[in-house]
Structure 1
Amino acid sequence: MPHISDAPENSDKIVHLLVYSIFTGLWFCYFYALKQKKDNFSTSLIKSCSLAFVYGIVVEILQESLTTSRSGDFKDLIANSVGIFVGILFIFLAKTQFRRLKSKF
């Protein structure tokens, strides 16, 4: 894709970081507020982070093994992991709001 070559090198890593922080937050919301009343904060956080991390690994493996136009990249996994960490930070910053939200369900 010629228009992508105009982008700065490794700029896609920022996209990975943002997407995985949002992805982690959305899964956390699902597990903590909507999925099960018994899931506590820590359990929901572990589930959401694990799911995001495993999903990232699976996507990179599938890109490498099943496609010819895409390739798996270890740097993408690092960016995904940093994104998950950023998601965790935001979740902890909003911990009070999440608990308030859960009490309404």
Structure 2
Amino acid sequence: MVDILLTTIHARYRHTAYGLRCLHANLGDLAHRAAILEFDLERTPTEMAEAILARQPRMVGIGVYIWNAEPTHKLVQILKRLRPDMVLVLGGPEISHETSDQP
């Protein structure tokens, strides 16, 4: 079990998320309560949600990019339905302040 889970969905399995590692490295005293879990587009949003929920995080940070915006949206819907109390934080280049234009 971790309190903070940092995750993203890569286009391919061989990629690693530098941004997540930078966030983790800057968590200071909270770093020992956090983990990184990475996926690729081969996994379904349901499979990803199961893997995330198995870790029982209180907060999940998700990196959103052009190649993962749609599966991330589906993943967030599943997580909010199954764990409405869990805090979700989305960041990355595909996040916009124009929330009325986003799903």
Question: TM-score under structure 1 normalisation?
Answer: 0.28
Q: Which has the higher strand share?
A: 2
State TM-score, norm by structure 2. Answer: 0.28
Q: Which has the higher helix share?
A: 1
Q: Which has the higher contact order (CA 8 A, sep 6+)?
A: 1
